[in-house]
Amino acid sequence: MDRGYYEARVRKKKPAVTRDEVYNFAYGCIEHGEVEAAAVAVICFEWLQRPENVIAGHIKWSGYRTGPKPTIRIEHHKTGNSTRKLRKCCRT
């Protein structure tokens, strides 16, 4: 194999899911008793998190605050930087 030659790969566009698709998936998970999968899907969609970080426990419920503007504190597991995200999801 010639290490100096690499064939350029064709990048395919990944279609984005819609809020309706995410929530339909989440409600289906809940109906089948898979509430954790539902939570991961919604958290990833609404708070723009990677599934592997949510599943690994990098988002903790202890950072969740209720009230008129509920927020969750999200800490980046590599840098330690944190931010608060508004909870904007609700069933319509």
pLDDT for 90: 47
Structure tokens at 1: 């194999």
What's the mean pLDDT when you consider all of the chain?
80
Whole-angstrom distance, CA of residue 73 vs CA of residue 78: 15
Q: From CA 77, how far away is CA 23, in angstroms rounded?
A: 27
Residues of the chain under the 50 pLDDT cut:
89-92
Question: What pLDDT is stored for residue 87 in this prediction?
Answer: 54
State the DSSP H helix or E strand holding residue 53, giving kind and residue range, or none if neither: helix 51-55
pTM summary value = 0.63
Any idea of the CA torsion for 80, 46, 91, 84, to the nearest 10 degrees? 30
